[in-house]
Every structure is written in structure tokens, then in C-alpha cells.
Amino acid sequence: MKILVTVKEVAEAADDFEIDGLDIGEQYLEYDLNEWDDYAIEAGVQLSEEFDDVEVVSATIGPERSEETIRMALAKGVDRAVRVWDDDVAAADLDVAAKTRLLAAVAAEEDPDLILTGVQANDDGFGATGVSLADELGFEWAAVVNHLEMSEDLSTAHVHRELEGGVDEVTEVDLPAVLTIQTGLNQPRYASLRGIRQAQSKEIAAKGLDDLGLDADAVASPIERTSMYEPESESDAVYFEGDADEQAAQLADVLTEKGVVGE
Amino acid sequence: MSADVLAVAEHRRGDLRDVSFEVISAGRQLADALGGELHLAVIAGNVDDFAEKLNREGVDVVHTVSDGAEFNHDLYHGALEALFADLEPAALLMPNSVNGLDYAPAVANALGLPYVSDAVDFDYDGGLEATREMYASKVETTIAVEETPFAVTIRGGEWNPTEEPGEAAIEPFEFEFDADAAGSRVKGFEEAGGGDVDISDAEFLVSIGRGIEEEENLKLVEELAEITGATLSSSRPIVDNGWLPKNRQVGQSGKQVTPDVYLAIGISGAVQHVAGMKGAETIIAVNTDPNAPIFDIADYGVVGDLFDVVPALIEQFS
Ligand SMILES: Cc1cc2nc3c(=O)[nH]c(=O)nc-3n(C[C@H](O)[C@H](O)[C@H](O)COP(=O)(O)OP(=O)(O)OC[C@H]3O[C@@H](n4cnc5c(N)ncnc54)[C@H](O)[C@@H]3O)c2cc1C
């Protein structure tokens, strides 16, 4: 069986930041593996440990810098990686449809039985690529999966989908399928020193639109970000001033006043 | 293409979900801007009963699809594709709920529609302009969509539900659906793990988030909870790490709580967390990041390090 895991390098904003045009200034951004993808990687690697002959391949749309993040996935047990990027991709404002086309082209080459993605990326939070990709490939799918068991013959995934309010939906999904993975599905491992060393020799295949049989139209998008701003604070919060002791004293007063802490 | 809006209602285990009445408001807003009608789709379950309840002010037509008992994405996908082809609306509007996450992107892809998710507001003036959040709610963005028709999902809780009764036409919609051919089958539901403590009953919640860093540091907030007589709850990462049981999780996929005081310590205030605790009477937040979104809904704020503030607070009550 082959498992494809999509891995995104996401940007996180520093506590204090400034907006520069349509994005947060580069100097205020830090890059990391998307939290949800970490759980997807773990799920793929665990399946490869549980079953014989499972290859886990990661797919990333991202610039060279993202290889740092990809190495983390390789160090955790992903066998090899594909990274999609070129000048046209770099210049595009990638919407869900464009990402779907790029990842569908990778999937067409790799021919996986199972694709694991994070539920969402915590930078843009679109929460759409996995399910859109499933539709594009004609695969089955399940979104927001917090429990996964594979049938012995690897034909069906038994999943829980985590609904709102502490209720899980219990569902069977035929393979080939895309599952979008929710945090808490497993405990993502830390990369071992051995894993980190091994990751250095694993392949990261860089691919441009040409290599995937696509042209610039594949990344054209009718969607455009037109502004970014810090939301006007609706807060009328009263801030406690002073050092920690002074803040704590004022906080204690409020708790006593509200009657939730006994005299 | 018409100027109409097709919006999709949501239900679970026999009840319409609140967001169904919010999509009516959002859909009416969009239909007014487009100059068209608002069509509502309700799929699976007791659709006649649902349609009656969904007949609220501003809805022109409710289309009922009576296949299936519960949500199934193959059914929603098929029904919406067929209904969209039939009505040729200018916009398809869906909830950004967990089930929305499971069908909306597939429907948009199948119909070749530009897709914007999790809108907190929008406008239409020749094209959609949607407002969304980014970078864990630290910034807002506007997204312009040049093409109509388009698909958009809305965040729950951002539009007021429509309450007034309406005069909608109720029209059954038939389409070919082969349930046996569907590649996914919903087998049922399971309640997430129980436990002895019900945080939804608590008057005073001390709630801890990822700011606590390590499991062993939990002792600190446990001590605070004990000395103040509070009940301990948490954001999701604490539960994901296995540091507290699931029944302590506050939020969209955890519990909804309405205490007199909610003391959020080291919690950023992600939308899915806020969904569970915004009903608290008084919200107090302790966070090192002055830009953390939790401060937007807090009544009292402590910008500071929990490892200084919590011991000092324990001291106050010792
Ligand atoms: C479908 C779905 C459902 C979800 N359901 C839920 C849910 O039910 N409940 C839930 O909580 N989340 C839920 N989430 C996850 C949610 O998006 C966030 O990831 C989560 O709420 C973040 O938790 P946090 O605030 O503890 O962590 P973070 O966002 O990492 O925030 C930690 C905060 O601690 C602060 N901090 C760090 N160190 C200190 C210190 N020393 N002193 C003081 N402050 C400090 C930081 O400034 C930061 O603001 C869901 C997500 C999805 C996609």
C-alpha cells in the first residue's frame, strides 16, 4: 500500500507584529510544520509499522525553505518526499482549486491508496484541500477524523469523525480515500536522533509545473486577497496593571467580588 | 445563471442545528445584494418537519430532499450538484461546520466554483468580497472573488438567526441517489468519553491552555483550582496530549460552558475554543501575548506570564 501525506509549512505570527501590505511582515513570521499535518504524518507512519509493504510519501507545495519542515516529516518515518514549486507557483495566489490541481497531479504520479491531510492549516485556516482533492481524484473521503482503524485487507477505513459538542460519527470509508486528520488522533512522535540522521539521505524530489504535466493555468485563481488588517478590538477589557503580585491582588478582588471564591 | 442564492441547512439526530437559521440570515443578506431569491436546501431526515421550521422570514423556497436519515456526504454532494444544475444560482452558501468541512469543498470542486471558507462577513458588489481571519485570528483579511457563481461557507455564530415565520414555498426535490453505491457509510454516533466531573455545571472554571507547556506544570493550576474551589477545564491541546480527560475540554468539539467566571490561563482564544465559553458571564484572561484573540472577548485582562501570575494568585488565597 502507498500512503501520501500532505505536509504544509505554515507561518505563525510573533506576539508583536506589523502588517506590510497584504501580509504580516516577513520578519515577524516563523515557520513550522502545520500542527494538524503532524498528526497525519504520525497516522501514516503508524500504518506503515502495523502493516507490511507500506510506503509513506509526503507531498508539499512550498519553496526551498520548506525542506526544513519536510526533513522533520522524513525524520519521523516518512520514506520520501515530493516538493512542488517553481516561479509560476511562487507568483500565484494559490486558492483551494489550484492546490487541488497541483496535489492531484502528484497523486496521479504516485497512485496512492490512501491520502492523509490535516483538517486545516493554521495559517490560512481554509480547511478544504483534502476534501476537494478527494473529489478531484474520484476518491472517497472523510473529514475531521479523530479515530482510525484499517481493515485487515486494507480495503476499508473505519473512522470516527469528530462532530461538534463531544459527539463522534462512526463511519466506514472505502479505499482509495482521503482522510483529513484531527489533532488528538494519536500522539505524534518526536524525531529521534537516528531519524534525523536518516532523513538527511532520504529523497526530496523537487517538481515544477512542467514535471507534473501542468502549465501556468493550473495555478490561475479567481480569488485574490485584497486587504489584511488587525481587527478592531471589540474588547472593553479592564487590564490589571503592575507586577504579577499587584495583578494577582486585583484579580483576587474581582473573584471575591463576583462571589465565586469564598470569603 | 440567476441572481439567486442557494443555502444549505444542517441537522443532526432529528434536530435542526442553530447554524441553519444563521445561513438564512446570511443567505438573505447575499440574495438582497445580488437582487435574487433565497432558496434553502434541506437534505435527509424528516425533511417535511424541518422545512416547516425553516420557513422563516426571507426564505423564498425550501427544497426538500427526502433520501437518507442522516448526513452522508455522498448524498449531500449528489443532491447539491443536481439542485445547483436545476436552479443555476449565483451563490452556494453552506455552514463551516464539521459536516460543512466534509461536503462543501467537494461540491465546490465538482461544480468548478471558486471557494471561500469560514467567512465572518461578506459583501457583494459585482463580485463577492468576503472577510476571513488568518494566523490564528490575529488578523483579518478581505478576499475578492472575481467570478460568479461561487461557493462560500460561513462561520457559526456570526449572523443572527432569523426568528420570524415566513411564507416560503416548500418543494420536494427528486434526484437519483444510489445509497448502495456510496463509498462511505455512516454507522452511527458515539458520545465522547464521560467522567465524573461535569464542567458545564460549574460556576467558576479555571481553564488552562497550551501556555502551561508541560504536564507536570498542571500541578500549579490544580492547586489554584483547589484553593479557590474552582473546577478545572482546558483547551484542546491539553486533552490531545492526554493530560486531562476529554470531558474537561471546552469548545466546539468539547463542552459548552456558562460559568459565572471563566478564568482562561495560557489560552489563545481560537474560534473553536471561544465557541464553547463565550457564554460565560465574566471572562478573565491571563496571557503573555497582548494580541491574543482571547482579550477581545475578555472582561478583565492580565498581560503576564502565568508562571508568575498563578503563584501570586495562589498566594492571595492562602
Ligand atoms: C474542527 C476543530 C475543532 C476544534 N475544537 C476545539 C475545542 O473544542 N476546544 C479547543 O480549545 N480547541 C479546539 N480546536 C483547536 C483550536 O483551533 C486551537 O488549536 C486550540 O484551541 C488552541 O489551544 P490553546 O489556546 O491552548 O493553544 P495556543 O493557541 O497554542 O495558545 C497558547 C497561548 O498561551 C499563551 N502563553 C504561552 N506561554 C504563556 C505563559 N507562560 N503565560 C501566559 N500565557 C502564555 C500564548 O501567548 C498563546 O496565546 C478545534 C480545531 C478544529 C479544526
Whether residue A128 and residue B12 make contact (CB cut-off 8 A), yes or no, is no
Q: Cβ separation of A261 and B260 shorter than 8 Å?
A: no
Say how far apart CA B63 and CA A85 lie, in whole Å.
44
CB contact under 8 A, B241 and A187: yes
Nearest to A15 among B115, B260, B291 (CB): B291
Query: Are A17 and A68 in a shared domain?
Result: yes
Closest to B67 (Cα-Cα) out of B218, B138, B172, B219: B172
How far, in Å, is the centroid of ligand 1 from the Cα of B191?
A: 23
DSSP assignment letter at A99: H
- Rounded to a whole number, what is the distance in Å from the CA of B280 to chain A's nearest CA? 13
| Contact (CB<8Å) B135/A184 | no
| Shared-domain flag, residues A151 and A248 | no
Q: Work out the average pLDDT over A125-134.
A: 97
Domain match, A103 and A78 both: yes
Distance B201 CA to ligand 1 centre (A): 22
Of residues B36, B3, B6, the one with CA closest to residue B171: B6
The DSSP bridge partners found for residue B42 are B64
The domain spanning residue A134 has which CATH number?
A: 3.40.50.620
A237 inside domain: yes
A225 touches chain B (CB under 8 A): yes
pLDDT per residue rounded down to tens, chain B (318 residues) = 999 999 999 999 999 999 999 999 999 999 999 999 999 999 999 999 999 999 999 999 999 999 999 999 999 999 999 999 999 999 999 999 999 999 999 999 999 999 999 999 999 999 999 999 999 999 999 999 999 999 999 999 999 999 999 999 999 999 999 888 889 999 999 987 666 788 999 999 999 999 999 999 999 999 999 999 999 999 999 999 999 999 999 999 999 999 999 999 999 999 999 999 999 999 999 999 999 999 999 999 999 999 999 999 999 998
Residue to substitute in B253, B271, B310 for testing ligand 1 pocket (most ligand atoms within 8 angstroms of CB): B253
Whether the per-residue pLDDT at A240 is higher than 70: the answer is yes
B12 touches chain A (CB under 8 A): yes
The span from the CA of A12 to the CA of B272, in Å, is 18
Smallest CA-to-CA distance from A36 within A162, A166, A149 is with A162
Are A214 and A235 within one domain?
no
Q: Considering chain A, what is the average pLDDT of its residues? A: 96
User: Which atom of ligand 1 lies nearest, measured to the CA of B235?
Assistant: 11
Q: CB of B95 closer than 6 A to ligand 1?
A: no
Do A181 and A245 fall into the same domain?
A: no
CB pairs under 8 A between A and B: 280
What residues make up the domain containing A199? 2-219
Same structural domain for residues A152 and A239?
no
Instruction: Report pLDDT for A82.
Output: 98
Average pLDDT of A133-150?
98
- Give B12's contacts (C-beta < 8 A, 6+ positions apart): A163, A167, B70, B71, B99
Own/partner pairs, A205-208, CB within 8 angstroms, 24+ separation: A205/A80, A205/A81, A205/A82, A205/A83, A206/A83, A206/A85, A207/A82, A207/A83, A207/A84, A207/A85, A207/A106, A208/A84, A208/A85, A208/A86, A208/A88, A208/A89
Instruction: Give the count of domains, chain A.
Output: 2
Among protein residues, the one whose CA lies closest to atom 48 of ligand 1:
B268
For B231, half-sphere exposure in the C-beta direction (CA atoms, 13 angstrom radius) is 21
pLDDT given for residue B194 in this prediction = 61
ipTM: 0.96
Residues A56 and A165 in one domain: yes
Residues A72 and A130 in one domain: yes
Asked whether this chain's domains B5-172 and B204-317 adopt the same fold, the reply is yes
Contact call for A226 and B101, based on CB within 8 A: no
By C-alpha distance, which of B38, B138, B299, B166 is closest to A124? B138
Contact B58, B25 (CB under 8 A): yes
Task: Give the burial string for B254-276 (b: 16+ CB within 10 Å, else e).
Answer: bbbbbbebbbbbbbbbbbebbbb
pLDDT at A34 over 80: yes
Residue boundaries of the structural domains of chain B: 5-172, 204-317
Tell me the CA–centroid distance for residue A79 and ligand 1, in Å.
31
- Answer whether residue A263 shows pLDDT above 60: no
CATH of domain B204-317: 3.40.50.1220
Helix (H) or strand (E) holding A247: helix A244-257
Alpha-carbon gap, residue A247 to A240, rounded angstroms: 5
Domain assignment present for residue A259? The answer is: yes
Question: Considering only CA atoms, which residue is closest to atom 7 of ligand 1?
Answer: B251
Q: Is residue A226 part of a domain?
A: no
B5-172: which CATH topology? Answer: Rossmann fold (3.40.50)
- What is the widest separation between alpha-carbon atoms in chain A? 73
| Predicted local distance difference test score (pLDDT) of residue A225 | 96
Residue A224 lies in a domain: no
Do residues A41 and A9 share a domain?
A: yes
Beta bridge partners of A179: A116, A142
